Amino acid sequence: MDSISLKVPVTVKAKLTEKLRTKMRKEMEEGVSRAELELQQIGIQEKRVMQEAEQGS
């Protein structure tokens, strides 16, 4: 049997309770922490590449 999938944007509404606010804040803080770690890793990789380029010259 063939099937068809339709994708339609849906607005999700929720009452902003203290519990939801706390959960959302925690998720955002975790996202920021992950982004900061990724930036640190990129900085470390950049230094490594620059050192290798200097040694190769």
Residue 8 inside a domain? The answer is: no
pLDDT per residue as tens digits for the range 2-54: 888 989 999 989 899 999 999 999 999 999 999 999 999 999 999 999 999 99
Number of domains in the chain: 1
Going by the DSSP 8-state scheme, the letter that residue 57 receives in this structure is -
For residue 6, the model assigns a pLDDT of: 86
Residue 44's pLDDT is 97
Give the residue numbers spanning the domain of 46. Answer: 17-57
Report if residue 3 sits inside a domain.
Answer: no
The count of other CB atoms within 10 Å of the CB of residue 14 is 7
Tell whether the model's pLDDT for residue 1 goes beyond 70.
no
Q: 3-state DSSP call for residue 9? A: coil
Asked, for residue 29, whether it belongs to a domain, the answer is: yes
pLDDT at residue 57 greater than cutoff 80: no
21 in a structural domain? yes
